[in-house]
Copies of this chain bind each other. A is one copy, B any other.
Amino acid sequence: MTSTPTADPTPDVTTLVVGVLGGTGPQGKGLAYRLAAAGQQVLVGSRDASRAESAAAELNALRAGAGAEIGGGDNATVAAKADIVIVAVPWEGHGALLESLRDHLAGKIVVDCVNPLGFDKQGAYALAVAEGSAAQQAAALLPDSRVTAAFHHISAVLLLDPEVPQIDTDILVLGEDRGATDLVAALAGRIPGMRGIYAGRLRNAHQVEALTANLISVNRRYKAHAGVRVTDV
Question: Measuring CB to CB, which residues of chain A are less than 8 angstroms from any residue of chain B?
Answer: 1, 5, 7, 122-126, 155, 168-169, 172, 174, 197-201, 203-204, 206-211, 213-218, 221-233
| Residue contact A198 to B226, C-beta cutoff 8 Å | no
Oligomer copy total? 2
Given contacts A126-B204, A199-B214, A224-B230, 9 further A-B contacts (CB under 8 A): A1-B168, A7-B221, A122-B201, A123-B201, A198-B222, A200-B213, A200-B218, A207-B211, A227-B231
A122 to B169, CA, bound (A): 27
Contact pick for A222, options B126, B214, B233, CB 8 Å: B233
> Given B5, B126, B204, B218, which contacts A233 in the complex, CB threshold below 8 Å?
B218
Q: Could you say which residues of chain B place their CB within 8 Å of the CB of A122? A: 201, 203
Given A227-B232, A231-B169, answer yes or no on A208-B214 (Cβ-Cβ < 8 Å).
yes
Q: With A and B bound together, what is the CA distance between A6 and B90 in angstroms?
A: 34
Of all A-B residue pairs in the complex, the 9 with the closest CB atoms, nearest first, are: A200-B217, A207-B210, A207-B207, A229-B229, A227-B231, A224-B232, A199-B214, A200-B214, A222-B233
| Nearest CB of B to A166, in Å | 11
Chain B residues with CB under 8 Å of A233's CB are 218, 222, 224, 226
Q: Report B-chain residues with C-beta under 8 Å of the C-beta of A227.
A: 230-232
Q: Are the CB atoms of A229 and B232 closer together than 8 Å? A: no
Q: Which of B125, B169, B203, B226 contacts A125 (CB 8 A)?
A: B203
